[in-house]
Amino acid sequence: MEFFGIKDAFDILIVAMVLYYLYRLMKDSGVINIFYGVMAFIVVWVIASQMLAMRLTGTILDKFMNIGLLVLVILFQDQLKRFLVDLGSKRRWRFLRNLFQHNATSEEGVSQQWIMSIVRSCMNLSKSKTGALIVIQQDVPLENYENTGDAIDASVNSRLIENIFFKNSPLHDGAMIIAGGRIKAVGCILPVSHDRSIPRSLGLRHRSALGISQATDAIAIVVSEETGTISIAYKGDLRMRLSTTDLEQRLSQLTSK
Does a structural domain hold residue 59?
A: yes
Q: Are strands 219-223 and 175-179 parallel, antiparallel or unpaired?
A: unpaired
Mean pLDDT over 142-162 rounds to 92
86 domain-assigned = no
Q: Is residue 251 situated within a structural domain?
A: yes
> Does 99 reside within a domain?
no
Taking alpha carbons only, the member of 209, 234, 237, 246 closest to residue 224 is: 209
Residue 232 near residue 242, CB atoms below 8 Å: yes
185: domain range?
A: 104-255
Question: In total, how many domains does the chain have?
Answer: 2
Say if residue 55's pLDDT is above 80: no
Measured from the Cβ of residue 109, the count of other Cβ atoms closer than 10 Å reads 9
Of the three residues 75, 91, 118, the one that is the final residue of a domain is 75
* Within-domain flag for 95: no
Three-state SS letters, 126-189: HHCCCCEEEEECCCCCCHHHHCCCEEEEEECCHHHHHHHCCCCCCCCCCEEEEECCEEEEEEEC
The verdict on pTM exceeding 0.75 is no
71 and 148 share a domain? no
Assign residue 148 the CATH number of its domain: 3.40.1700.10
Q: Does residue 76 sit in helix, strand or coil?
A: coil
- Residue 166 falls inside a structural domain: yes
**Is residue 144 domain-resident?**
yes
Position 127 scores a pLDDT of 94
* Residue 56 is assigned to a structural domain of this protein: yes
Tell me the per-residue pLDDT of 172-225, one tens digit each, with 9 for 90 and over: 889 999 998 899 999 999 999 877 777 778 889 999 999 999 888 899 999 999
Residues 69 and 108 in one domain: no
**Claim to verify: residue 116 and residue 234 sit in the same structural domain:** yes
